[in-house]
């Protein structure tokens, strides 16, 4: 029986897979046109599986050398002599199972290849004499792309491509490079004083425009295959939309949630089951989350920009020419929606928020205030009123003398850090950004299968306050709730610490001023 796969290449006979035929078709068209292109996506975005599926689709028409230089070590890149001969060894090894004759020929021609120029000449002979056109695929290319010898190799392939188009050379019909970094923009990875030296050795590449995120229809195709085997009676359309809601189609996250439901949650294919799987994935460590946090810590400007967006509620126009947007997009943290920059998916949002909140929680020592049992009622539900009252008390006792700049920047994160240990393991809090002149930030808490909406906003006067209440009223309607909660950050020194209910359109809004 097939399984959901989150590690390595997906095999149709072994794994439940989303129908990516549209992506494969776009790659196939570029290959047929003899184009050179790159497949650049974030970690665990399905690049290797896509390359494998493209290879399977075209291998009856082309000889495909599908390889990676990962694992060869750094020594072969140090000298052109070592690299040039090793490249042909790798090519021969990787095609031996699909075309033994071509593999033997490459090995036979690999004699005294000590320079890139000699390597180029042999590639010409191989491609000219072979019965089929040859397609070259190199995966994980960015792991070698900070090496001068490898860049020289790419530059050689570029020159052969240009000469081929002028009928002055024979070379690979198509070359596909896959990795996180786009080799057309290698200067992103290189030191500033090396930019002019290297520039881009791959500026001939055309854009690969396929959207490799899974849409709800594509997610449905995977669930339909699963349903044929298990006949659970699941509502495929509903669950596909729910999976997309939390993941925005990030391939690893979609497969991981499905795997958790299938293997750890008793095949609970319901909305509740998906919510439980989200709770589980948020508690677990994995290499994808580790990469996201490492990239934040290694790029202070990216960290600060995400903090302003996620915690302070700032809104940014997405601009791929902006270095921060470009970096966040490359790492899979950002995506563009209606010309706006947003965090790619709600799971990333939650995980980043927890990471930032944990750092602040440790620094500010919030544990004495946020002891979990203080805020859970007899039914095991979250008592948000008590939670907000305690948060107000903490802010009054510990932070009333803090300067305004600290409170404006850290106030909202203080609440999130206060909330984190209370709901950790049982619930989660997803942020719905609602930007207006008063900079609102709505948090939808899911705890014990119940939803609670807490809005955080700054105080800008009574007029904006009433407008904010109307907006919260409409949002509660969207969530099907009759009670909401409001934290108002008032940075005036003479403010009154109010906590009260206020009725609006048959709903009750509990408000606290901190």
Q: How far apart are CA 349 and CA 353, in angstroms?
A: 6
**Sign of the four-CA dihedral 212, 213, 217, 219:** positive
CA count, 13 A, side-chain hemisphere, 143:
12
Token output for 72: 């060869």
Phi-psi region of 210 (alpha: psi -120 to 50; beta: other; left: phi over 0): beta
Beta carbons within 8 Å of 483's beta carbon, 6+ residues apart: 476, 507, 508, 509, 510
In order along its 514 residues, the chain shows pLDDT tens digits of 899 999 889 999 999 999 999 999 999 999 999 999 999 999 999 999 999 999 999 999 999 999 998 777 777 777 888 899 899 999 999 999 999 999 999 999 999 899 999 999 999 999 999 999 999 999 988 767 667 888 889 989 999 999 999 999 999 999 999 998 877 665 434 344 444 444 567 888 999 999 999 999 999 999 999 999 999 999 999 999 999 999 999 999 999 999 999 999 999 999 999 999 999 999 899 999 999 999 999 999 999 999 999 888 788 999 988 999 999 999 999 999 999 999 999 999 999 998 998 888 888 777 666 677 889 988 889 999 999 999 999 998 888 888 777 887 888 889 988 998 888 878 888 876 554 444 566 788 989 889 999 998 888 888 888 888 888 888 898 888 999 999 999 888 788 899 999 999 999 999 999 9
Beta carbons within 8 Å of 343's beta carbon, 6+ residues apart: 306, 309, 310, 333, 334, 349, 352
Beta carbons within 8 Å of 261's beta carbon, 6+ residues apart: 267, 268, 269, 273, 274, 276, 277
Token pair 């491509």 is found at 161
Angle, alpha carbons 243-45-200 (nearest 5°) = 145
Backbone angles phi, psi at 39, to 5 degrees: -115, 100
pTM attached to this predicted model? 0.89
Give Cα 56 to chain centroid, integer Å: 27
Angle, alpha carbons 98-107-156 (nearest 5°) = 95
Q: What is the three-state SS of 262-299?
A: HHCCCCCCCHHHHHHHHHHHHHCCCHHHHHHHHHHHCC
Token output for 385: 């009123």
Alpha-carbon dihedral of residues 240, 242, 243, 245, nearest 10 degrees?
120
State whether residue 487 is helix, strand or coil: strand
Q: Nearest to residue 412, comparing CAs of 393, 436, 439, 390?
A: 439
């Amino acid at each position: 029986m097939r399984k959901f796969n989150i590690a390595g290449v997906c095999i149709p006979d072994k794994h439940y897979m989303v129908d990516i035929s549209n992506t494969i078709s776009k790659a196939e068209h570029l290959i047929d046109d003899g184009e050179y292109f790159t497949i650049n996506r974030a970690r665990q975005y399905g690049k290797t599986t896509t390359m494998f599926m493209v290879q399977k689709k075209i291998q009856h028409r082309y000889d495909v050398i599908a390889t990676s230089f990962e694992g060869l070590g750094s020594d072969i890149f140090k000298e052109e002599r070592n690299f040039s001969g090793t490249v042909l060894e790798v090519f021969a090894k990787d095609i031996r199972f699909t075309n033994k004759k071509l593999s033997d020929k490459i090995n036979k021609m690999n004699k005294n290849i000590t320079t890139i120029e000699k390597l180029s000449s042999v590639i010409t002979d191989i491609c000219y004499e072979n019965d089929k056109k040859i397609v070259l695929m190199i995966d994980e290319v960015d792991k070698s792309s900070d090496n001068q010898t490898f860049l020289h190799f790419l530059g050689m392939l570029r020159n052969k491509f240009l000469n081929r188009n002028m009928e002055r050379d024979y070379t690979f019909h198509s070359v596909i490079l896959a990795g996180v970094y786009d080799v057309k923009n290698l200067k992103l990875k290189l030191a500033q004083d090396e930019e002019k030296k290297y520039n881009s050795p791959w500026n001939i590449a055309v854009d690969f425009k396929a959207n490799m995120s899974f849409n709800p229809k594509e997610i449905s195709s995977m669930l339909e295959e699963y349903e044929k085997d298990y006949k659970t009676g699941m509502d495929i359309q509903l669950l596909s939309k729910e999976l997309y809601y939390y993941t925005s189609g990030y391939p690893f996250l979609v497969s991981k949630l499905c795997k958790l439901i299938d293997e750890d949650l008793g095949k609970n294919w319901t909305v509740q089951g998906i919510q439980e799987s989200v709770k589980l994935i948020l508690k677990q460590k994995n290499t994808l989350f580790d990469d996201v946090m490492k990239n934040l810590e290694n790029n202070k400007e990216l960290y600060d920009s995400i903090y302003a967006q996620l915690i302070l509620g700032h809104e940014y126009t997405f601009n791929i020419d902006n270095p921060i947007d470009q970096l966040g997009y490359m790492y899979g943290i950002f995506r563009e929606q209606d010309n706006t920059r947003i965090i790619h998916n709600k799971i990333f949002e939650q995980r980043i928020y927890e990471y930032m909140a944990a750092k602040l929680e440790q620094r500010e020592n919030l544990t004495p205030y946020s002891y979990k049992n203080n805020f859970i009622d007899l039914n095991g539900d979250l008592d948000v009123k008590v939670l907000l009252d305690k948060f107000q008390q903490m802010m009054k006792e510990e932070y009333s003398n803090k300067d305004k700049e600290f409170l404006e920047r850290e106030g909202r994160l203080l609440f999130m850090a206060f909330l984190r240990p209370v709901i950790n393991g049982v619930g989660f809090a997803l942020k719905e950004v609602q930007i207006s002149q008063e900079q609102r930030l709505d948090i939808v808490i899911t705890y014990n299968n119940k939803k609670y909406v807490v809005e955080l906003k700054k105080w800008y006067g009574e007029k904006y306050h009433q407008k904010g209440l109307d907006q919260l009223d409409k949002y509660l309607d969207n969530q099907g709730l009759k009670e909401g909660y409001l934290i108002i950050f008032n940075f005036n020194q003479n403010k009154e610490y109010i906590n009260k209910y206020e009725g609006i359109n048959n709903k009750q809004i509990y408000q606290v001023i901190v």
